[in-house]
Amino acid sequence: MAKTEIVKLDIDQTPLREIKKTTLGTGLIKGLGITMRHLLSRSVTIQYPDEKDVLPARSRGVIALKEENCTVCMLCARECPDWCIYIEGHKESRQPAQEGKRAKKYNVLDRFAIDYALCMYCGICVEVCPYDALFWTPEYEYAEHDITHLTHEMDRLSDWMYTVLPPDELDPAATGPEFKTLPQRTAPAVAPAPAADGEQPTAAGEVAAPKNDQGEPSAPAAAPEQEAKVTEEAAVAIDTDVATGEAAPQEEAPEPEKEAPTPSEPQAEATAVSEEEAEEIGRKVYEEEIGKGSDPRVAEGRRKAAVLRARKGTRGPGG
């Protein structure tokens, strides 16, 4: 017979008796209060065909193909868990530049198709593409009455390219990608170079090396601090070099680290234009496209991409 034990339950140090102490019916009243509050708050519905949500640049709507980047390496088709990518290509050879040299071989893409009836939008193909030929775009309106029409051939996949948005700017609060410090491999190489001159630089190099050894396996969160320390250390090393009249060696290890903590910079240099100017540019592009006799959808896509490019002042992956 198991002996029943009364265990006093403590939830965040609050005795259970206090938690249970409620008057009969307060739960019912509280429930009514909650539903009333929700009744009076704003609805979140978006009336879809009439109004559309603005999707973020990284939305997984449809996959676009940048045809000229594709090398027919077949990695996407092989990695695709659903086998929904069709690639066909053939080899061609270019005349050798000089007589007697071997002809240059290259692949030509004949067919690239994605069957969206099979695709499960895992994005492995986009991830795996080594030449940035596949992109996600936020477009999602490509439903069809006939399932066979869901197989998008090269022309349609390329058209989607005009709806690819430039990637979002990095979060200014983010720490940025981590770069491992690799100086201990070069540090010994640095040390012997000025060794002929005297003891001091060698000592500096030796002092720097153990520090870096500690820095490398440290936890990711601590990494930026560690990096800063290493940079300081390196600066000291350079100073000592200068003091002894020796030029700092070219392969001075910590040099690239100085740039490492500022990965969000590249966007800033681009010049953004005003809203009206962007719209104007978009309109021009659209008219140009229509004048060329393009499909209105393609023209609309190019217009959108142009406006976005102009607005962000960046060159999107499409352009």
Give me the residues that bind another protein (CB under 8 A), please: 28, 31-32, 34-36, 38-39, 41-45, 47
β-bridge mates for residue 85, sequence order = 114
Between residues 41 and 250, which has the closer beta carbon with respect to another protein?
Answer: 41
CB closer to another protein, 45 vs 98? 45
Q: What is the length of the chain?
A: 319
Minimal distance, residue 45 CB to another protein, in Å: 4
CB atoms within 10 A of CB 31: 10
Minimum CB separation of residue 22 from another protein in Å reads: 17
Closer of 11 and 39 to another protein (Cβ)? 39
Contact 302, 162 (CB under 8 A): yes
Nearer to another protein, 38 or 91 (CB): 38
219 close to 227: Cβ distance less than 8 angstroms: no
Residues 6+ apart with CB under 8 A from 90: 107, 108, 110
CA-based radius of gyration for the chain: 31
Q: Least distance from C-beta 142 to another protein, angstroms?
A: 24
Short-list 64, 85, 69, 286, CA closest to 161: 64
Q: Please, what is the minimum distance in Å from the beta carbon of residue 36 to another protein?
A: 7
Smallest distance from another protein to CB 51, Å: 11
Least Å from the CB of residue 47 to another protein: 6
With respect to another protein, which residue has the nearer C-beta, 35 or 250? 35
Burial class (CB in 10 A: 0-12, 13-18, 19+), 201: buried
Q: Which is nearer to another protein, 42 or 91 (CB)?
A: 42
Q: How far is CA 241 from CA 181, 222, 232, 249, in A?
A: 21, 29, 14, 9
Nearest CB to another protein, comparing residues 27 and 130: 27
Angle between helices 223-243 and 200-215 (to 10 degrees): 170
State in angstroms the smallest separation of the CB of 26 from another protein: 14
